[in-house]
Amino acid sequence: MAAFKETTFPVDAPAAEKAVGWIDDRFPLTKLWNDQWGAYYAPKNLNFWYIFGILATLILVMQIVTGIFLTMHYKPDANLAFGSVEYIMREVPWGWLVRYMHSTGASAFFIVIYLHMTRALIYGSYRKPRELLWLFGFAIFLALMAEAFFGYLLPWGQMSYWGAQVIVNLFGAIPLIGPDLSLWIRGDYVVSDATLNRFFAFHVIAIPLVILGLVAAHLIALHEVGSNNPDGIEVKDTLGPDGHPLDAVPSHPYYTFHDLFGVSVFLLIFSAVVFFAPEMGGYFLEYNNFIPADSLKTPLHIAPTWYFTPFYSVLRAITADFMYVLMAVVAAYVVFVFLKSRLAFKTKAIIAVVGLLMIIGMLPAILDAKFWGVMLFGASVMILAAMPWLDHSPVKSIRYRPTWHKYVYALFALSFVTLGYLGTQAPSPVGGVVSQVCTLIYFSFFLLMPWWSTMGRFKPVPQRVTFHPH
């Protein structure tokens, strides 16, 4: 058995250096710092789009810390929950600040995540060799949606109660297992104290542990394959004599100060919202949620929080009349695949059979519009996971794609934002038609990507990253 050998330092060495050395002999503190940040080389041309990863980490820490303080006073009981939130807001010293930081942090989290995903989309950060990195990020997004949904019920206000009632009832549209699944999620025949208790357990313990594990996996995968950059060039392909990429710089101190500036700007905006507009006009905190939950009084307009509304609009867009449009779209897509795809005949046959089954299932006598609304609601989220295999473009970054590709991305972004806005509004005939058109645009962006992503004249990609110091 090898003898333990402790690092020795000169007598006059600084106390901090001795302390770090003592820790390093027992735990790889310095090695972890160097591997994960200090000596991690990142492309030198990263721009402001690359600050959202560190912002997401900051918000995650902030949500955990504020959540811990909130649980010290919150009561997961249907008779006490709303009162305990009011107690936090009015009686607990600085409780209002902690609560507003947590509620604003939830919206800030999704704003940052959506921007982080946008950066991946425009610069091709989901392409080879980063497919697994994208899947870990997508899993984090799903976990965040679950975390937000479970936490949404906890204030036990009117919108919390009825929002949870509507969303849980959606699972009842699934044939055979739907009613039992809804009952299992609620723990009762209606949203009640049992629902509140299990949602509290998931929100405070189960989902945060899953998120922390996925974040660790995401970071490990990132540092294994390296960061992407606005040019979409692999900097590891051009190494210097020291074995480090020529077009990369150590994250510390260069990106430490780069990110600190981004964090400072974020905290300034975040503080302004927390202190001056924590409800953000009813988008961050709905006014109905300041009214205690009443199972006998349904709000005039029930809608989830804004970060769910794009997908909620997809759900609402699927009506009985719109089903015939969907049947025609599915048939047209199958024909298009047969004519334009280079897939093997067996694969085309499978797609045709699936399409035929979907068309039959869309008949009013087979499965109703509510079922297909739930299916497309889920598909609108899950289709994001397929991005690495849908994009067949010969280049990664939007910088070197045909100019008209930018308009395709812009149209997709516009449809997504429009769906999000319509989801916050009460249903209307005009809004319904617009949401149906935007739903078709949303899915067309992904399902037609294998073809449109390869079309047009692509610009030559340079061998080295383009960087202009300023």
User: Does domain 26-297 fall into CATH 3.40.50.450?
Assistant: no
pLDDT 10s digit of each residue in the chain, 470 long? 556 667 666 767 788 888 888 888 888 888 888 888 888 899 999 999 999 999 999 999 999 999 999 999 999 999 999 999 999 999 999 999 999 999 999 999 999 999 999 999 999 999 999 999 999 999 999 999 999 999 999 999 999 999 888 888 888 888 878 888 889 889 888 889 999 999 999 999 999 999 999 999 999 999 899 999 999 999 888 888 888 888 899 998 889 999 999 999 999 999 999 999 999 998 999 888 999 998 888 888 888 899 999 999 999 999 999 999 999 999 999 999 888 888 788 888 888 899 999 999 988 878 888 889 999 999 999 999 999 999 999 999 999 999 999 999 999 999 999 999 999 998 999 999 999 999 999 999 999 999 999 999 999 999 888 876 65
**What are the sequence ranges of the domains in the chain?**
26-297
Rounded-to-integer distance, Cα 197 and Cα 420, Å: 30
Q: What are the two backbone dihedrals, phi and then psi, of residue 131, each rounded to the nearest 5 degrees? A: -60, -45
What is the secondary structure of 264-302 as a DSSP string?
Answer: HHHHHHHHHHHHH-TTGGGTSS-GGGGSB--TT---SS-
Tokens of 228: 């992407």
What is the secondary structure of 142-191 as a DSSP string?
Answer: HHHHHHHHHHHHTT-BHHHHHHHHHHHHHGGGSTTTHHHHHHHHHSSSSS
The label of the residue with tokens 């790889």 reads 28
Q: Are 263 and 270 a contacting pair, CB within 8 Å?
A: no
Rounded-to-integer distance, Cα 256 and Cα 278, Å: 30
End-to-end CA distance of the chain: 56
244 annotated ligand binder:
no
Instruction: Give the pLDDT confidence score for residue 276 in this predicted structure.
Output: 96
Instruction: Give the pLDDT confidence score for residue 238 in this predicted structure.
Output: 85
Q: Does pTM top 0.85 for this prediction?
A: yes
Rounded-to-integer distance, Cα 74 and Cα 78, Å: 11
Rounded-to-integer distance, Cα 140 and Cα 213, Å: 9
102 annotated ligand binder:
yes
203 annotated ligand binder:
yes
301 annotated ligand binder:
no
Return the closest-CA partner of residue 161 out of 204, 195, 197, 110.
Answer: 195
Rounded-to-integer distance, Cα 102 and Cα 88, Å: 12
Where b means 16+ CB within 10 Å and e means fewer, 61-92 reads ebbeebbebbeeebbbebeebbebbeebeeeb
The label of the residue with tokens 């080295």 reads 464
Instruction: Give the pLDDT confidence score for residue 3 in this predicted structure.
Output: 61
218 annotated ligand binder:
yes
Instruction: Give the pLDDT confidence score for residue 458 in this predicted structure.
Output: 95
Q: Is 176 left (phi over 0), alpha (psi -120 to 50) or beta?
A: left
DSSP state of 461: P
Tokens of 329: 């779209």
Query: How crowded is residue 247: how many other Cβ atoms within 10 Å of its Cβ?
Result: 24
